[in-house]
Structure 1
């Protein structure tokens, strides 16, 4: 049980114009998934009436802060492995005169990392491997999990009693890095393309929706059934379901469980067609 509810913090942040939204308990996944009409961090708001309503339905929800509309960035420093050591990367940056100021708002993370928050006007794109391939440093410009969110029984915690009112401007070297960052692999922004959302588009969106543990079987079963329904063969369904499970389920199911789901989907479709139970014409 959290000492302070996400709703209480969300209302405090609303007082200074910051937009928040609920995440599923013990996760970084939006409480309302895309398949149920959610829009992830874009559901964030500073409207206190709306916040009170949505958090009252799930008091233990974690808290998501929207960064882009608040002109904030977050630098995530982690110790993933000895090779991907974010703290070592900060030390190397310091030697080059690229110091990350420690007088801004900073939170410790449940897995012993640090989140540095800064004010900045930068392009809206996250940088998952900032400064080098195994830096252990990420830069976020869209959204972030924040205090009092909890993962595996541990909370994000503000350092030195600071609040979001203490956020400082980003150092110019960091702003320049983000502005000039060139990632040939980053996705083109198609948000402005005026396309109507059709059934197939909704299916494709749901295929890359991150799915929490309690919904994995149901999600994969529904997706696989939709693929079979539109005529995909079993090899295609198996390949796509296995890929979705590996990349978008937290944590992934075992391959044995995925195989069981696929068999269930195919048997259901064969029954519909009258192939099973001796009904084939």
Structure 2
């Protein structure tokens, strides 16, 4: 899709864009993310004046956040993801992602935040909430491009809690995997808790949550306690979370099954 057509499509979906000097990341004179527009005629005029402009996206106008993973120094992208994961900063991958001309990645998420950006959150990772350059812009002859062709701006996920904390001036908890267990081996409950925290993405969400709710109820905890935890598990460890109505349906179904089992045993 040509840049002009793409820019107009974004504007039609309420995303604000702004023009950049061709083959660079620099805004055209008197333009910036603060003057970004979704006016179709104005955007069309930009391209009529200079057909090869690059495109910037105002993240703040759409409550978008970009996790910018840099590859300027030939970084090992996988090792950066592992570093984030080791510190408890999980990045759901089934969201819209673009590859930068240098081979880095821009992962897009949704969320309301107060800060515009955090540079060097960890080495080679910046958190952006003000603006970013987007596909199909070209820098030094190489283009930004989507790496997951089945995903679009309509499939951007909600930001994980740690990302919102980092951009809202709240302390970001770090949970390192470097701790070495010296006592007993991990018990069944520990394995189940690890499974919950690992979470689940879009595939099999209902089945996964049903399994976790069944375990919570089987512990003998008060139903109100199990329900509260189930709701939190859904919010924090399922991407995207299920609707509350679906969680309620799952919970009620398991409670009925457990009640039926109890009645049969009591006969």
The normalised TM-score by structure 2 is 0.60
Q: Report the 3-state secondary structure (helix = DSSP H, G, I; strand = E; otherwise coil) of the residue aligned with 1:107.
A: strand
Indicate the SS of the match to 1:144. strand
Look up the SS of the partner of 1:75 in the other structure.
strand
Shift of 1:181: 5.9
* Cα shift readout 1:124-146 (whole Å, capped 9, x = no counterpart): 32111113xxx101111111000
Matched, 1:160 2:133: no
Aligned to 1:143: 131
Does the aligned pair in 1 maintain the 2:17–2:38 contact within 8 Å?
A: yes
Where does residue 52 of structure 2 map in the other structure? Answer: 60
Give the alignment of 1:154-193 within 5 angstroms. 154-161=142-149, 162-180=151-169
What secondary structure is seen at the aligned counterpart in 1 of 2:148?
A: coil
The alpha-carbon deviation at position 86 of structure 1 amounts to 5.7
Once the 2 structures are TM-superposed, how far is the Cα of residue 160 of structure 1 from its aligned partner?
Answer: 1.7
Q: Is 2:9 the partner of 1:12?
A: yes
- What is the DSSP-based 3-state SS (H/G/I as helix, E as strand, rest coil) of the residue aligned with 1:79? coil
Given that residues 74 and 116 in structure 1 are in contact (C-alpha distance below 8 angstroms), is that contact kept between their aligned partners in structure 2?
yes
What is the rounded CA distance, in whole Å, between the counterparts of 1:45 and 1:73 in structure 2?
A: 18
SS, match of residue 160 in structure 1: coil
Task: Give the Cα separation in 2 of the matches to 1:39 and 1:148.
Answer: 19
- The one of 99, 102, 106 equivalent to 1:115 is 106
Decide whether the 8 Å contact of 2:70 with 2:124 is kept in 1.
yes
Unaligned residue ranges in structure 1 (runs of 5+): 183-281
1:78 touches 1:85 (CA, 8 Å); kept in 2? no
CA deviation map 1:15-34 (0-9, x unaligned): 21100011000000012x2x
Give the aligned partner of residue 125 of structure 1.
Answer: 116
Provide the C-alpha distance between the structure 2 equivalents of 1:30 and 1:43, rounded to a whole number of angstroms: 10
Give the superposition deviation at 1:85: 5.8
Q: Which residue of 1 aligns with 2:65?
A: 73
Correspondence for 2:23: 26
Aligned residues: 170
Asked if the contact 1:22/1:64 (under 8 Å) is kept, the reply is yes
Cα distance, 1:43 vs structure 2: 2.0
Q: Deviation at 1:69?
A: 1.0
Unaligned runs of 5+ in 2: 172-267
SS in 2 for 1:93: helix
Match of 1:96 in 2: 87
Please tell me whether the aligned partners of residues 77 and 87 of structure 1 are also in contact (alpha carbons under 8 angstroms): no
> Structure 2 CA distance, aligned partners of 1:7 and 1:69?
20
